[in-house]
């Protein structure tokens, strides 16, 4: 019986071995490939920025007086010269009239002194003339002339103070909430009555690390500097702002606390018609608003481009799989340049014309034969080919 059992085991082993030998080997995995080729790409750098009004004015009183009326509505837009506050005028009008009366009196006294000086001068060369009389008349005339100039200056100051009772807007812009109401007394020590910020255009300020600033300088200064880039902003709700800004200023000092350099762009902030209230002006950008800033090159640059999904990353860095001449997958370590969400630009590690695996990468191992075919057309491919 033992010999029969051993014989049966031998038979089963032979049958199993023959079946395994007869089973065909697994076919190479199918992968989708794209050809690495030169493509135009818009270089973009993204930063966090803040909107800032170009003009920011705190309106204060220049004289001490009661507030007669407030001539604006909180939050409305005003033009330069528009009336904001009317202060009590009668005390200043009375003061101006008193100063004008003093000036008129000095004018009359000067006229009399001029006549006396002319008489003394005419008698100076006659026996009746005395040099002392002429000198006294000359001194009197000079004194009244000086007093008249002082009176005119007092009239001018009184007129200025009277004009200060009408507080007008010094700029075009949007006005805030008034801090004072009619019936209250205001003075230069009362502080800010209301704040006005300009609306169009606006500044966009964004800090850039020193390393990023050096790269931007190397990239854009040789091809036009400020004119080689445009600025686009993304609003806090995720919408891309329709207006395009222009870089206009780079600060001359690096912030020692953050090691950043502040850049500034100017962007338009046109009004949006408010259908509910035709007198109200609505704009999208607000002073102090935080936005995402995209610094884009004006002209696309030619780069060796591959789909972004073809790029893998491990501890050694970025890499891709290419199909070599023997139809095997080969790992290539690459160095990436400026890229977009759909397209990666390759600075080194890859040559134009090589086939890069973009689909089925999870099934690929280095040195493994693969069955290469074109990638499946899809939204990502169309998006990457769409003109910017």
At residue 344, does pLDDT exceed 90?
Answer: no
Q: Is the CB of residue 97 less than 8 Å from the CB of residue 158? A: no
Write down the pLDDT at residue 7. Answer: 52
* pLDDT tens, position by position, 17-44: 544 455 566 778 888 888 888 888 777 8
Residue reference for tokens 């190397």: 218
Output 53 or 132, whichever has higher pLDDT: 53
Q: Please, what is the average pLDDT of the chain? A: 83
How does residue 1 score in pLDDT terms, banded at 50, 70 and 90? very low
30-40+302-385 CATH fold = 2.40.420
Write down the pLDDT at residue 264. Answer: 95
Query: What architecture does CATH give domain 45-54+200-301?
Result: Beta Barrel (2.40)
- Which of 80-89, 125-134, 214-223, 375-384 is predicted with the least confidence, judged by mean pLDDT? 375-384
Output 30 or 260, whichever has higher pLDDT: 260
Write down the pLDDT at residue 195. Answer: 95
Burial (CB < 10 A; 0-12, 13-18, 19+), residue 9, is: exposed
Write down the pLDDT at residue 135. Answer: 74
- Answering whether pTM is above 0.75, one says no
Write down the pLDDT at residue 380. Answer: 43
Output 14 or 334, whichever has higher pLDDT: 334
Write down the pLDDT at residue 280. Answer: 61
* pLDDT tens, position by position, 124-145: 677 666 777 777 878 888 888 8
* Segments in 124-243 forming alpha helices (H): 131-163, 210-220
At residue 369, does pLDDT exceed 90?
Answer: no
At residue 251, does pLDDT exceed 60?
Answer: yes
Q: Is the CB of residue 78 less than 8 Å from the CB of residue 172? A: yes
At residue 372, does pLDDT exceed 70?
Answer: yes
Write down the pLDDT at residue 123. Answer: 73
The pLDDT > 70 percentage for the chain reads: 86
How many residues does the structure list for the chain? 388
In 157-259, the DSSP E strands lie at: 166-168, 173-175, 185-186, 194-197, 202-209, 229-234, 246-250
Mind giving me the DSSP string for 267-310? E----EE-SS-TT-EE-S--TT-EEEEEEEESS-EEEEEEEGGG
How does residue 277 score in pLDDT terms, banded at 50, 70 and 90? low
CATH class of this structure's domain 90-163: mainly alpha
The pLDDT > 90 percentage for the chain reads: 40
Query: What architecture does CATH give domain 59-87+165-197?
Result: Beta Barrel (2.40)
Helix 131-163 to helix 90-123 angle, to the nearest 10 degrees?
A: 160
| Paired tokens of 133 | 């009389």
At residue 185, the 3 state secondary structure works out as strand
Structural domain boundaries in the chain: 30-40+302-385, 45-54+200-301, 59-87+165-197, 90-163
At residue 16, does pLDDT exceed 60?
Answer: no
Write down the pLDDT at residue 92. Answer: 92
For residue 164, give Cα distances in angstroms to 63, 88, 136, 299: 7, 10, 42, 53
Mean pLDDT, residues 84-98: 93
| Paired tokens of 252 | 């001359």
φ, ψ dihedrals at 121, nearest 5°: -70, -40
| Paired tokens of 326 | 């023997």
At residue 385, does pLDDT exceed 80?
Answer: no
């Amino acid at each position: 019986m033992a010999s029969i059992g051993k014989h049966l085991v031998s038979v089963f082993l032979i049958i199993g071995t023959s079946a395994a030998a007869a089973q065909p080997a697994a076919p190479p995995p199918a992968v989708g490939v794209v050809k690495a080729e030169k493509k135009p790409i818009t270089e973009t750098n993204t930063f966090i920025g803040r909107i800032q009004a170009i003009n920011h004015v705190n309106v204060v009183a220049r004289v001490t007086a009661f507030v007669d009326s407030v001539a604006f509505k909180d939050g409305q837009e005003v033009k330069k010269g528009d009336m904001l506050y009317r202060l009590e005028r009668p005390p200043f009008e009375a003061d101006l009239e008193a100063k004008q009366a003093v000036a008129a009196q000095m004018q009359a006294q000067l006229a009399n002194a001029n006549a006396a000086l002319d008489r003394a001068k005419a008698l100076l060369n006659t026996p009746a003339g005395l040099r002392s009389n002429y000198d006294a008349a000359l001194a009197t005339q000079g004194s009244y002339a000086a007093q008249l100039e002082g009176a005119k200056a007092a009239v001018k100051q009184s007129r200025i103070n009277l004009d200060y009772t009408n507080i007008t807007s010094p700029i075009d812009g949007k006005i805030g909430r008034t801090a004072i109401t009619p019936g209250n007394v205001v003075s230069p020590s009362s502080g800010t009555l209301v704040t006005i910020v300009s609306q169009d255009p606006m500044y966009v300020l964004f800090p850039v690390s020193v390393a990023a600033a050096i790269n931007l300088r190397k990239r854009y200064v040789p091809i036009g500097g400020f004119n080689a880039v445009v600025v686009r902003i993304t609003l806090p709700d995720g919408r891309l702002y329709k207006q395009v800004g222009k870089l206009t200023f780079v600060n001359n000092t690096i912030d020692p606390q953050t090691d950043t350099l502040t850049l500034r762009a100017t962007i338009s902030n046109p009004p949006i018609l408010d259908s509910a209230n035709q007198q109200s002006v609505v704009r999208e950008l607000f002073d102090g608003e935080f936005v995402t800033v995209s610094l884009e090159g004006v002209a696309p640059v030619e780069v060796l481009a591959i789909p972004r999904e073809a790029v893998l990353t491990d501890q050694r860095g970025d890499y891709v799989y290419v199909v070599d001449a023997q139809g095997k997958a080969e790992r290539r370590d690459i160095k990436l340049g400026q890229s977009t969400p759909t397209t990666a630009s390759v600075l080194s590690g890859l040559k134009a014309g090589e086939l890069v695996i973009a689909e089925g990468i999870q099934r690929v191992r280095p040195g493994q034969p693969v069955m290469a075919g074109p990638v499946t057309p899809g939204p990502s491919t169309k998006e990457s080919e769409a003109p910017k």
